[in-house]
Amino acid sequence: MKINYKGNIDLTIGAGGRAMNQLIHDLMLAEFDNEFLAQQGDQAILPPANGKLAFSTDSYVVSPLFFNGGDIGSLAINGTVNDLAAGGATPLYIAAGFIIEEGFPLAQLREIVKSMAKAAKTANVKIVTGDTKVVEKGKGDGIFINTSGIGVVENDWVATSPQTDDLVIINGAIGDHGMAIMSKRQGLNFASDISSDCAALNSLIASLAPYQKHIRIMRDPTRGGVSAVLNEWATFYNCSFEIDEEKLLVNESVRGLSEILGFDPLHIANEGKVMLVVAKDYADEICSLMKNHPLGQESRIIAKVNPASQVKVSMKTLFGGLRRVDWLNGEQLPRIC
C-alpha cells in the first residue's frame, strides 16, 4: 500500500508500526538513497576518515516553513554543512531527525524531504541516518528538523588570532535571509522580491585551500548577523574591528524593509554568507579568488583589525563618523532558522 500524499500525518505514523515503515521506505529511503542509509540500522556504519573529525548539530524551527529562496528542508542541510565548512572541515555525512505534529500535510512533508535530498546532493553530502517522531496536535508547530553533521579536517586547518591590519572579507550582501523570512511572515507584498541567500558554502570555502595559511578564522554569520560574529571574535581574541559602511553591500529591498521595521542589517541573519579574517597582504588575492565562484561573485573587504587598545566593534559611517556596533540586545527576529 502506497502513502496517500493528499492526507495528513497521524499518530500511527509515529507509532513505529507499518505506517511508519511505509513512510520511511516510500519517502525518506527513496529520496535520500545511499549505501549507508540502505543499511537500515539504528546507526550508520561509516568508513575510516582521513583526518580529524568535525561534528556539528543544529535544530531548525523556522517559521514560515517555506520562504523565497528556500524552505526548512534546504535550510537544515545547508546550515549544518556551513557550520562544518566554516570550521575548515569537508562535510561528509548528515543525520536528520524529524519532529512532526499530528495533522501536518503529507504533501508538505514530501516537498521538504525532496528539498533536503536536493540540497544534500548539491552539497555533496549523504544523509546516512535519521529519526521520525510524531507529537499530538497542538504540541508542535508543523515540523521541526534537527540535523547533525560529520566532516573531516584533512589539511589540519586551525583558527589563529587576528593580527593588527588584517582584513575581513564577506562573500556578498547581508540580511537577505532574515528579511526574506520577515517579509513572508508579515505578508509585506511590496518586499516580495527579497530572496533568502540560503546555500551550501563548502565548495566556495574549499576553493580557498591555496590560501589556507593566510586565513586566520572563518564563520558563517547566521543569527545575530555580522555584528554577532565580529563581537564574538573581538571578545575571544581580545582585538578590535572597524567596519567600513561604504564597503557593506545591502540590497535596496532589504535596506528599505529594515528601515521600515527598525532593524539594523548588521544584526540580521544570513544563511549563505561566510566571513573570513585574512592577512592584509593576501586579502585582494583571496577576494579575487572568491569572486570566481558563483557564491562569491560579490565578495568584498568590509572591515579591518585595529590595535587591541579596546575590545570593540565600530563602524566608519558614510558621513565619516564612527559609531559603536554592539551585540544585539534581545531577540530581533525569532525563529529565523
The domain defined by 166-324 folds into Phosphoribosyl-aminoimidazole Synthetase; Chain A, domain 2 (3.90.650)
In 3-state terms the chain splits into helix, strand, coil percentages (rounded to 5) of 35, 25, 40
Sign of torsion over alpha carbons 307, 312, 316, 322 = negative
DSSP 28: I
Q: Tell me the DSSP string of 66-134.
A: EETTEEHHHHHHHHHHHHHHTTT-EEEEEEEEEEEETT-BHHHHHHHHHHHHHHHHHHT-EEEEEEEEE
CA 125 – CA 302 distance, rounded (Å): 31
Q: What is the pLDDT of residue 297?
A: 98
CATH 3.40.640.10, domain 8-153, yes or no: no
The pTM assigned to this predicted structure is 0.96
How do residues 77-120 score in pLDDT, each as one tens digit?
Answer: 999 999 999 999 999 999 999 999 999 999 999 999 999 999 99
**Domain limits, the chain:** 8-153, 166-324
Q: What is the pLDDT of residue 308?
A: 75
- Cα dihedral 273, 263, 313, 330 sign: negative
b/e code 139-161 from CB counts within 10 Å (16+ = b): ebebbbbbbbbbbbbeeebebee
Peptide bond into 64 cis (omega under 30): yes
232-270 per-position pLDDT tens digit: 999 999 999 999 999 999 999 999 999 988 999 999 999
For residue 163, pLDDT beyond 70: yes
Query: What confidence score (pLDDT) does residue 333 get?
Result: 80
**Regarding beta strands 312-316 and 240-244, do their DSSP bridges make them parallel or antiparallel, or are they unpaired?**
parallel
85 in Cβ contact with 202 (< 8 Å) = yes
Average pLDDT, the chain: 94
